[in-house]
Copies of this chain bind each other. A is one copy, B any other.
Amino acid sequence: MPLWEFPDKMSLSRANVRDMTLKKWESITEWPLTVLSFLFLIMYAWQILAQPIGVWNDLAEWSMNALWVVFGVDYLLSLLLAEKKWDWFVHHLFDLIIVVLPMVRPLRVLRVLTALNALHRTSGMALRGRITMYAAASVVLIVFIGALAVLDAERYAPGASIRNFGQALWWTFVTITTVGYGDYSPITGTGRVIAFVLMLGGIALIGVVTATLASWIVDEVGAEEKKETQITREQVELVSQRLERIERKLDDIKIPKQS
C-alpha cells in the first residue's frame, strides 16, 4: 500500500489476522516485481534516449509488453487472493490505473514507484526519516520518468521547444519546483498532462518538506511539555505506590482493634 493513501490503521491490524496467502504472495513477488519494474524503466529510457531502430526497437516494445502482462497477472492474482476484495480494490486504485491504461506509456512506467514500498518496510528508521527518504526517492523517479515522457511526447511535435533530454530534464525541474520560467513549455496534450502531474507533484513536495519541518520544530519546541507530561506520570506512579503502603498499614491497625 503506497504511502500517499492515508494508512488505515484498522485495516492494517486486521490484515495481520486476515489471509496469509496474499501476504505470502506479496512477500514472494515483492523483490522480483521491483526488479522487473526497474527493467521496465530501463527499457523505456533506452527506447526514448537511444531511439533503437529495427529489431532492437521491436525487442524493447515486446519486452515492455511482456512485462506489462506480468504486472497485469500480478494485479489479478493479488485481487483474487485478497479476502476483503472491495477493500483491496479501493486501496489499490493507483495500481489498477497503471495496469489498465496501456495507451499512456508513462503511466505504466510509474509502476516503478510501487517499488518504493520496499523502502517502506525497512522500518528501523523513524517516521520523519522514512517520509524524507520516500519523498526524495519519489521526486528523483518522477523527475526522471517525467523528463523521458515529455521528451517522447514533444520531440517531434511541430513548434515544440523540448527537443532533447537535457531540455526535458531542465523543464521538469523548473515545473516540479513550481518556478515555471516559461523558456520551455509543452504544447502537446500528452505533454501537458505530464506537466500537470509534475505540478501536483511539486505542490506535494512543498507540502512534504514543510510538514516534515513543521513536525520537527513543533516536536523540539514541545519537548518541554512532553517532559512535564512524563514528570506527571512518574509522580502519579509514586502516589500510587505510597497509597499501597498506606493501605497495608491501615490493615495492620485493624487487626489489633478486633482482638
Contact = CB atoms under 8 A, between A and B. Distances in A.
A97 interface: no
A247 B256 contact: no
A44 interface: no
Nearest to A250: B249
A245 to B, nearest CB: 7
A108 to B, nearest CB: 23
Interface string A162-192: 0000100010011101111111010001001
A257 B253 contact: yes
Interface residues of A, number: 75
Interface in A238-257: 238-240, 242-247, 249-254, 256-257
Interface string A190-223: 0010011001101111111111111111111110
Contact of A182 (B182, B240, B249): B182
A6 B252 contact: no
B180 A166 contact: no
Contacts of A192: 170, 173
Contact of A244 (B181, B199, B217, B242): B242
A237 interface: yes
B214 A218 contact: yes
A231 interface: yes
Given A217-B131, A240-B239, A179 B202 contact: yes
Contact of A203 (B206, B214, B218): B206
A179 B216 CA distance: 27
Nearest to A175: B179
A229 to B, nearest CB: 6
Contacts of A214: 207, 210-211, 214-215, 217-218
16 contacts: A128-B217, A174-B199, A203-B209, A207-B214, A210-B210, A210-B211, A211-B214, A215-B218, A225-B226, A228-B230, A229-B232, A232-B236, A233-B235, A235-B240, A243-B246, A250-B250
